[in-house]
């Protein structure tokens, strides 16, 4: 399972390195969301400072919808799904590999997005540890749900419109918990970060486990 996962993750990351879709299109889109939010909230320093954590996570969620679409589009053409199905790879391995590749790409996105928040919204980082922990756990959860729904909606003609509608409500707790954890780390929140990080870890663990079990039957349907 783990070897298969590595192989699939390597394949997806190699394709990204050669096509640079995420870097050239999704990252600029995420930064654009930051700017649009600044127009909506700003230009006063106070409200922007308050909103920074939420803006980061909303931008991340929107960008991850695009990331998920890209991740499932890799297999959409040239009967790539049939290839995956008949390759003899463990479905759980395929799921973990695709999730890991999406995770790696989202982490790069988060680094740039975090930098953007600090630059544009004037946030000061009080404690970096909780922020990184929230990002890692939140990204794993996002990528797990995203990979599941990416495969689920692939092959449907209405996939572009259906995917955000299915994906975003499910990851709403990630937005909630991630924002609270970041607010506490940026010094704008009222509560501690640790319960929220625990929630993100539980979310990620639950959906990684569900994906490992359920991806096989899903792969047959697509």
Partner 1 sequence: MAANPTTAEAVTKTANRVQPLGRRTKLTTRLVGLGAISSLVATVWLGLWVTPPDLVMHNLVRLVYVHPPIAWISLYLAFGIAALSSALWLWPRTRSRFFDRLAVSSMEVGTVFTALTLVTGSIWGRPTWGVWWAWDARLTSTALLLVLQLGYLALRRVPGDPDSRARRCSVTALVAAVDVPIVHFSVQWWRTLHQNATVLNANLSPTIHGAMAWTLLLGFVAFTLLFAWMLLVRYRVQVLSESLEGDELEGALRERWGETGDVGNAAGLVGSAGAGEGALVGVSVTGESQ
Contact status: 204 vs partner 1 (CB under 8 A):
no
Report the C-alpha dihedral over residues 95, 101, 105, 108, rounded to 10 degrees.
120
Q: Are 208 and 140 in contact (CB under 8 A)?
A: yes
* The token pair that represents 33 in the structure block: 């969301």
Contact status: 109 vs partner 1 (CB under 8 A):
no
Q: Shortest CA distance to 138 belongs to which of 96, 113, 173, 105? A: 173
Encode burial over 171-197: b for 16+ CB neighbours within 10 A, e otherwise: bebbbebbbbbbbbbbebbeeebeebb
CB of 195 to partner 1, least distance (A): 7
Residue closer to partner 1 by CB (options 30, 167) is: 167
DSSP secondary structure string for all residues of 27-93: HHHHHHHHHHHHHHH-SSHHHHHHHHHHHHHHHHHHHHHHHHHHHHHTTTGGGHHHHHHHT---HHH
Q: Which stretch binds partner 1 (CB under 8 A): 7-15, 48-56, 61-69, 204-212?
A: 204-212
Residue closer to partner 1 by CB (options 34, 53) is: 53
Residue closer to partner 1 by CB (options 42, 164) is: 164
Residue closer to partner 1 by CB (options 84, 109) is: 84
The correct pick among 148, 186, 201, 208 for binding partner 1 (CB under 8 A) is 148
CB of 92 to partner 1, least distance (A): 15
* The token pair that represents 85 in the structure block: 């199905």
CB of 196 to partner 1, least distance (A): 8
Q: Are 171 and 61 in contact (CB under 8 A)?
A: yes
Q: Which stretch binds partner 1 (CB under 8 A): 43-51, 70-78, 95-103, 175-183?
A: 175-183
Contact status: 205 vs partner 1 (CB under 8 A):
no
d(CA 147, CA 69): 9
The correct pick among 199, 201, 208, 212 for binding partner 1 (CB under 8 A) is 199
Q: Which stretch binds partner 1 (CB under 8 A): 9-17, 65-73, 113-121, 160-168?
A: 160-168
User: Which residues contribute to the site for partner 1 (CB under 8 A)?
Assistant: 145, 148-149, 152, 156-158, 162, 165-166, 169-170, 172-173, 176-177, 180, 190-191, 195-196, 199, 202-203, 206-207, 210, 214, 217-218, 220-222
């Amino acid at each position: 399972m783990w070897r298969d996962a590595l192989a699939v993750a390597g394949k997806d990351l190699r394709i990204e390195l050669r096509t640079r879709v995420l870097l050239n299109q999704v990252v600029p889109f995420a930064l654009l969301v930051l700017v649009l939010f600044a127009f909506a909230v700003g230009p006063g320093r106070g409200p922007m400072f308050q909103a920074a954590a939420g803006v980061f996570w909303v931008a991340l969620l929107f960008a991850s919808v695009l990331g998920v679409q890209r991740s499932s589009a890799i297999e959409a053409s040239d009967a790539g799904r049939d290839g995956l199905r008949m390759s003899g790879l463990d479905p759980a391995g395929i799921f973990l590999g695709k999730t890991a590749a999406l995770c790696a790409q989202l982490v790069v996105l988060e680094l740039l997005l975090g930098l953007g928040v600090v630059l544009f919204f004037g946030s000061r980082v009080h404690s970096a540890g909780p922020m990184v922990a929230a990002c890692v756990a939140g990204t794993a959860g996002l990528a797990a749900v995203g990979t599941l729904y990416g495969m689920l909606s692939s092959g449907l003609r209405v996939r572009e419109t259906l995917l955000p509608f299915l994906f975003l409500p499910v990851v709403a707790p990630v937005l909630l918990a991630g924002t609270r954890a970041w607010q506490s780390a940026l010094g704008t929140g009222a509560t501690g970060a640790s319960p929220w990080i625990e929630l993100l870890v539980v979310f990620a663990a639950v959906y990684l486990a569900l994906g490992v079990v359920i991806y096989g039957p899903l792969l047959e349907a697509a």
